[in-house]
């Protein structure tokens, strides 16, 4: 760099006499900045407006520099302008950027994988080569950990040209003082002019910061996360922990967005489960009660607690989850409830094996409408629930309270169901969220422990264990644990005791079973189960008929696909296509829950974002800059072909659903998972 963008920065409204001075809420700059926050960040504006007596103060240094002071302790310990400039120059010589690995077309399911294979083939045919590393300076996202007085923020915007800027600041007073010394109003005006968004996260908890950052990026085109800039302005325990965790868990921002084939599968399963009879649905909140609930997973640590669980069978309600059912039944423990989440064929296959080996009568199944129909058919009673953000929920679930978050693993579903059922005293067994042993993370009694299925992924990331030492987890379990922690944080009245010897779970108290004394507990099991049953709602055939109307559903698809086609046609018509079509398409896909096209868009959302992410990855690594226009035209043409295939598949699905509800066919065809044979 030559002249620094910071060279022109100055605290114009700070008095000229050195010393400790208040922020200047009456100055024109402060007033203009506060008004800009009201227009662009109204929630933060409300917090700033209430801050009438800050504990810290601005400090004018000899020579015109500026700092902040709290109880005589300087924040920067130097001129904030000069110090920010030095820090920025150092950062730009070796900036921290986060990148994803190259997309693997063979590992991506369905239409997204087909797109990647076709794209790579056409790139090779056209002689378009790739560099190993990104060659683009610009980014879509930039995240700044620490606003301080903000002298570094505008230069970073200029350098990265990001479309979305996340500003993290644990201390509200820092932003308050920045209103007196930097031009926030100008930054917001420039952002409006250039299609940029500035988003603030003002939290003093690292977990809350990372969760908020993940939510923001997932709502603002996570397909373009590759190459995000990460900037730490000042160090404290909160910001450093949040930055480290954000880097480590970047993959979670792009996980669980769904994909087309899975949405088709869930819709087919949901319609089959609805059928033509009244079905029971978990809906309203059941009053809180003191009954103890054991949630029983299939983590390896449950093996040591099976005798304790069996001995205390009559003192708690038992809820098994996923593959944990078989190990319990093999040990003579029959749970009251069994929870399933997955909609895949393997779920039906495994439940068939368990039902053939053991008696599953008197167990109430809790599962999503989108679960394969063969699963609820094996149980005498089923309570269905609506999952969040799925096409079937959007179509049939209006007016019903969803179980949220239902994923990413069945452990999250069980906690959410337990809260909905009114349990406030919950004990976790075998909910390990990882393992102390890096070679396995399922109990010996599960289908994985018995070798019916092999471990599909092994834990590899170290983290604190529940009873000290180190546990290991893989990516989905890390995501699941964070989701569970957020749920417990949001429901502080729930006393969660973690008896699992796996990863430590925040807001769940670690306790060994030998320290538990349940001998004085009296349980009227049938009364508790009847209370829950009385709180279950009924979904009728009439309600299903009211939700389904083929002409309307067909028009939703038509409008969604045509809108996408028009966007791509405008882009490909340009001699040198830019990437505005990516932003336009991502904004279009970010459906509003009140949008009448929301069902159709939910089918497209995950797969199209994955396609955009792969396209963005390659676009940033093109070896020949003069071939970028050729490459982008290939991307647009192949994406248009993908939309055409999805269009035809949705038309087929919707006609089958109509025929099924009319009694013309017995089964709705659903796509199988890659590599799965018809063992069920």
When the candidates are 1.10.472, 3.40.50, 1.10.10, 2.40.160, the CATH number that belongs to 5-99+134-254 is: 3.40.50
pLDDT in tens, 265-300: 888 888 888 765 678 999 999 999 999 999 999 889
Residue 20, pLDDT above cutoff 70? no
So what's the pLDDT on residue 375? Answer: 87
pTM over 0.75: yes
Phi then psi for residue 280, to 5 deg, are -95, 135
Order of strands, edge to edge, in the sheet holding 19-21? 19-21, 57-60, 66-70, 73-74
Q: pLDDT band for position 468 (50/70/90)?
A: very high
The reported pLDDT for the residue numbered 677 is 40
CA–CA dist 281, 386 (Å, integer): 8
Query: Is it the case that residue 17 has pLDDT exceeding 50?
Result: no
**Which of 137-151, 540-554, 648-662 is the least confident region?**
540-554
Burial of 235 (0-12, 13-18, 19+ CB in 10 A): exposed
DSSP letter string, 336-351: SEEE----SHHHHHHH
As a whole number of angstroms, the distance between CA 66 and CA 80 comes to: 6
pLDDT at position 136, please?
82
pLDDT in tens, 335-348: 999 999 877 767 77
Name the average pLDDT for the chain.
87
What is the residue whose two structure tokens read 């994955």? 610
pLDDT tens-place string over residues 224-272: 999 999 999 998 999 999 999 999 888 877 777 778 988 898 888 888 8
In the predicted model, is pLDDT for residue 11 greater than 70?
no
Q: Is the pLDDT of residue 75 over 90?
A: yes
CB count, 10 Å around CB of 315? 17
Number of alpha carbons in the 13 Å side-chain half-sphere of residue 411:
29
Query: Tell me, what's the pLDDT at 680?
Result: 40
**In the prediction, which pLDDT does 329 show?**
93
38 SS3 class: helix
pLDDT of 670 reads 74
pLDDT in tens, 27-55: 889 999 999 999 999 999 999 999 988 89
pLDDT band at 679 (very low <50, low <70, confident <90, very high): very low
> How far is residue 208's CA from residue 202's CA, in Å, rounded to a whole number?
10
Q: Is the pLDDT of residue 129 over 90?
A: yes
Q: What are the structural domain ranges in the chain?
A: 5-99+134-254, 104-132+546-680, 279-539
pLDDT tops 90 at residue 449: no
Q: How far is CA 5 from CA 12, 157, 179, in A?
A: 16, 10, 19
Distances in whole angstroms, Cα of residue 587 to Cα of each of 325, 564, 605: 42, 11, 11
Question: What span, in angstroms and rounded, lies between the C-alpha atoms of 604 and 574?
Answer: 25
Half-sphere exposure of 166 (CA within 13 A, CB side): 30
Find out whether 590 and 608 touch, Cβ atoms under 8 Å.
no
Give dist(CA 539, CA 274) in Å, integer.
Answer: 8
Instruction: Give the pLDDT confidence score for residue 517 in this predicted structure.
Output: 86
């Amino acid at each position: 760099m030559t002249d620094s963008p910071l060279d022109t920065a100055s605290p114009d409204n700070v008095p000229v006499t050195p010393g400790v001075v208040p922020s200047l809420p009456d100055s024109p700059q402060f007033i203009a900045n506060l008004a800009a926050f009201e227009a662009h960040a109204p929630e933060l504006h409300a917090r700033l407006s209430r801050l009438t007596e800050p504990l810290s103060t601005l400090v004018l240094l000899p020579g015109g520099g500026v700092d902040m002071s709290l109880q005589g302790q300087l924040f920067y310990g130097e001129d904030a302008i000069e110090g920010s400039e030095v820090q920025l120059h150092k950062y730009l010589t070796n900036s921290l950027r986060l990148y994803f690995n190259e997309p693997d077309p063979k590992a991506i399911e369905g239409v997204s994988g087909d797109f990647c294979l076709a794209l790579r083939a056409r790139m090779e045919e056209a002689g378009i080569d790739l560099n190993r590393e990104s060659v683009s300076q610009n980014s879509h996202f930039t995240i700044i950990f620490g606003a301080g007085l903000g002298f570094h923020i505008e230069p970073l915007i200029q350098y990265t040209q990001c479309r979305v800027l996340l500003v993290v600041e644990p201390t509200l007073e820092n932003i308050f003082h920045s209103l007196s010394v930097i031009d926030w109003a100008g930054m917001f005006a420039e952002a409006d002019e250039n299609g940029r968004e500035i988003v603030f996260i003002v939290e003093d908890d690292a977990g809350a910061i990372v969760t908020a950052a993940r939510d923001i990026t997932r709502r603002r085109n996570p397909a373009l996360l590759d190459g995000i800039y990460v900037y730490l302005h000042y160090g404290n325990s909160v910001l450093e922990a949040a930055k480290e965790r954000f880097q480590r868990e970047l993959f979670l921002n792009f996980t669980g967005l769904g994909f087309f084939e899975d949405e088709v599968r869930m819709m087919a399963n949901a319609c089959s489960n609805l059928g033509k009879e009244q079905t029971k649905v978990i809906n309203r909140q059941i009053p809180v009660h003191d009954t103890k609930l054991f949630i029983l997973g299939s983590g390896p640590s449950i093996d040591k607690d099976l005798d304790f669980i069996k001995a205390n069978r009559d003192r708690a309600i038992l809820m098994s989850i996923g593959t944990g059912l078989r190990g319990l039944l093999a040990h003579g423990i029959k749970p009251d409830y069994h929870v399933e989440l997955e909609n895949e064929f393997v779920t039906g296959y495994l439940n068939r094996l368990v039902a053939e080996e053991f008696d599953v009568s008197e167990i109430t199944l809790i599962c999503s409408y989108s679960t394969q129909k063969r699963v609820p058919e094996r149980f005498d009673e089923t309570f269905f629930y609506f999952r969040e953000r799925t096409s079937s929920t959007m179509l049939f679930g209006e007016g019903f309270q969803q179980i949220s978050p239902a994923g990413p693993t069945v452990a999250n579903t069980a906690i959410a169901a337990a809260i909905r059922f009114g349990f406030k005293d919950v004990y976790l067994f075998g909910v390990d969220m990882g393992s102390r042993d890096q070679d396995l993370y399922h109990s010996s009694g599960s289908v994985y422990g018995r070798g019916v299925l092999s471990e599909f992924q092994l834990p590899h990331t170290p983290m604190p264990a529940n009873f000290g030492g180190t546990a290991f987890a893989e990516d989905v379990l890390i995501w699941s644990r964070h989701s569970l922690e957020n749920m417990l944080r949001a429901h502080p009245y729930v006393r969660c005791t973690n008896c699992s010897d796996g990863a430590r779970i925040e807001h769940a108290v670690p306790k060994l079973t030998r320290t538990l004394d349940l001998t004085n507990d009296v349980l009227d099991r049938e009364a508790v189960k009847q209370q829950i049953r009385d709180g279950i709602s009924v979904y009728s055939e009439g309600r299903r008929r009211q939700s389904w109307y083929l002409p309307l559903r067909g028009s939703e698809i038509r409008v969604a696909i045509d809108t996408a086609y028009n966007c791509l046609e405008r882009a490909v018509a340009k001699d040198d296509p830019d990437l505005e079509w990516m932003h336009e398409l991502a904004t279009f896909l970010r459906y509003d829950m009140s949008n009448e096209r929301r069902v159709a868009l939910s089918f497209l959302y995950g797969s199209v974002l994955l396609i955009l992410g792969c396209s963005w990855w390659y676009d940033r690594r093109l070896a020949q800059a003069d071939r970028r226009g050729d490459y982008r035209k290939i991307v647009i043409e192949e994406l248009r072909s993908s939309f055409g295939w999805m269009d035809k598949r949705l038309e087929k699905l919707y006609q089958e659903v109509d025929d099924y509800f009319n009694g013309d066919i017995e089964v709705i065809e659903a796509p199988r998972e890659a590599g799965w044979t018809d063992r069920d």
